[in-house]
Amino acid sequence: MKRLLEKRYKLLLAVIMALAAMAAVWNRTGIFYGTNDDRVITEMLAGTVVQEPDPHVRLINWLLAAVICFLYRITGQIPWYGLCLILFQTVSWAVIFHAVLSCCRGRVETAAGIGLCCGCFLINLYSVGLIQFTSTAALMAAAGYVCLCLRQDRKGIWVFGGLELMAYFLRSDAMLMIQPLGGMVFLGLLYAADGEWQERIKRMSQWAGTVAVILVTGAAGGLLGYHGKEWQEYEQYNRARIEMFDYYGTPAYEDVKGILDRHQVTRTEYEAYCNYVMLEGDISPECAEELAAYARERNSSGVGMAEAFRLSLFGDVYEDPLSGSRVMAVLWLGLAAHVILSGNLKMAAPLAGLGMARTVVWSYLFYRGRVLPRVTYPLIFCESVLLLALLVKSGCPRRRRWIRLFDLCLACVFLLLGYGAGQAQYRYVKAEN
């Protein structure tokens, strides 16, 4: 009975902490959209553009868009899409907080867990104040893996599945970006765990089956909402538009005049396209692809695989004070030292798995030129929160008090650096909002 009350108490505490953290950001900086894409999504779902709520928003899954459109049809006075993003983030933070607190025993460990949770929230303040669907989906995916790694009960796999599914619905690319990191950590922990191999294989099968069901469900939602030749052409057009507008920029009219003349696009029509003014039928999918190919060839960094690998370890992106990369670096060094000092070499498996996965993901992003802050900030945070989960999971034998002291010092450094990153992000978000 006492243990049950303790579990409910920690769940209630985690929910209160998540609500308080989100309310504090709302009060101090406000919560606004961080990208134009979210504003466009809102206008489509609310019916501002076509005078009727339309779930055909290609950036998010049709199944989720249909539910939000239904809410807008009930009343358009409530910003349902924005509230959904805030709800998703609040639930994700509650899950992370509860998973961490569930591993704490006694008042001292619980107090330390609360401190770690607060530091974790601070290094992601940017993605809360400037909310957007990509960072929110990445947060949900990371929260799912934190829950899966720290909780061994059946509810953990259900919470994991729910968060990953909603993350896929909201932004499939962001959810898939986190899978290699979270998956390698989970598999490494299975290898390091004690017990029968049958139990480990069962948990691995549950994880793999859950991810497979999510991918199939998400694909079915896409086919349900977007099928036929017209949607295939739109997908072709949209991919080219995103590549040019988000990563390479729009070329000057004089530079692409030959392409535009070949597709019978006037200067006025092209300038309207560059300024997000959509005139029906002005830019064909084939023309958009040629423009994107030209922009890619002209502005591509030309980074090879070897250079991308180097940048994944020592890139300039880690020098950004808003990214929280210092916190991530301290966690990497601290966890490596903990594994060596404690002699718990099995914990090197999830740590090495995360290292390999993050190197592959970062190398791919540098190779493809996908290193925008809206991608790199959430990825750095997700890597940090997975490292934090490993720190909580690793623990230490009671008899080795000096290792516990080392972990306490590491936690204090984490809080100080998290506070510093939070201050920098707060000033930036406050100025932007």
Strands 130-131 and 32-33: parallel
Confidence of residue 1 (pLDDT cuts 50, 70, 90): very low
| Same-domain check for residues 259 and 280 | yes
285 and 372 belong to one structural domain: no
Q: 2, exposed or middle or buried, with CB in 10 Å at 0-12, 13-18, 19+?
A: exposed
pLDDT exceeds cutoff 70 at 79:
yes
Q: Residue 131 and residue 150: Cα distance in Å, rounded?
A: 27
What range does the domain containing 365 cover? 2-180+191-225+303-432
Final residue belonging to a domain, choices 250, 282, 299: 299
Residue ending a domain, choose from 299, 318, 349 = 299
Indicate the number of domains in the chain: 2
The residue out of 253, 284, 299 marking a domain boundary is 299
- At residue 273, the pLDDT reads 78
pTM metric for this prediction: 0.88
Place of tokens 């020592």: 314
**Percent of the chain residues topping a pLDDT of 70:** 92
Residue 185 lies in a domain: no
Residue 291 lies in a domain: yes
Q: Supply the pLDDT for residue 15.
A: 93
Give per-residue pLDDT as tens, 33-51: 988 888 888 888 888 866 7
For the stretch 145-148, contacts whose Cβ atoms lie closer than 8 Å and that sit 24 or more positions apart, written own/partner, are 145/178, 145/181, 145/182, 145/183, 145/185, 145/186, 145/386, 145/389, 146/95, 146/96, 146/99, 146/100, 146/385, 146/386, 146/389, 147/95, 147/96, 147/98, 147/99, 148/182, 148/186, 148/207
pLDDT at 171: 92
pLDDT at 161: 95
- Compute the CA torsion angle 297, 299, 304, 306 (nearest 10 deg): -170
Average pLDDT over residues 411-429: 85
Report whether pLDDT(345) > 90. Answer: no
Is the pLDDT confidence value at 24 over 90? yes
Q: What is the mean pLDDT of residues 223-237?
A: 75
Single out the residue of 140, 149, 137 nearest to residue 100, CA to CA: 149
Q: Does the structure show a pLDDT above 90 at 20?
A: yes
**Is residue 106's pLDDT more than 80?**
no
Residue 255 forms part of a structural domain: yes
Q: Considering only CA atoms, which of 123, 5, 115, 93 is closest in space to residue 392? A: 115
Q: Which residues contact 71 (CB under 8 A, 6 or more apart)?
A: 78, 80
pLDDT of residue 247: 72
Q: Establish if 381 belongs to a structural domain.
A: yes
If asked whether residues 349 and 419 sit together in one domain, one would say yes
Whether 263 and 318 map to the same domain: the answer is no
One-letter amino acid at 307 equals E
Residue 24 and residue 66 in one domain: yes
| Phi, psi for residue 283 in degrees, rounded to 5 | -115, 115
Q: Within 13 Å, how many C-alpha atoms sit on residue 51's CB side? A: 0
Q: Can you name the residues that pair with 130 across neighbouring β-strands?
A: 32
User: How far is the C-alpha of 99 from the C-alpha of 385, rounded, in Å?
Assistant: 12
Distance CA 291, CA 83 (A): 36
Q: Say yes or no: 211 and 237 in one domain.
A: no
195: confidence class by pLDDT, cuts 50, 70, 90? confident
Give 365-413 pLDDT, tens digit per residue.
Answer: 888 777 888 888 899 999 999 998 998 887 654 446 666 677 777 777 8
Same domain (yes/no): 206, 234: no
What is the C-alpha to C-alpha distance for residues 93 and 96, in angstroms, rounded to an integer? Answer: 5
Whether residue 168 is found in the same domain as residue 92: yes
* 116 and 245 share one domain: no
Indicate whether 84 belongs to any domain: yes
**Are 259 and 287 within 8 A, CB to CB?**
yes
150 and 233 fall within a common domain: no
Q: Is the pLDDT of residue 303 over 80?
A: no
Query: Does pLDDT of 290 surpass 70?
Result: yes
Burial 45-65 (b: 16+ CB within 10 A, else e): bbebeeeebbbebbbbbbbbb
Region 25-35: mean pLDDT is 90
Q: Same domain, yes or no, for 164 and 206?
A: yes
Residue 186 included in any domain: no
Where in 34-140 does DSSP place strands (E)? Answer: 130-131
Contact at 8 Å (CB) between 303 and 315?
no
In a domain, 75, yes or no: yes
Residues 354 and 426 reside in one and the same domain: yes
Q: Is residue 154 part of a domain?
A: yes
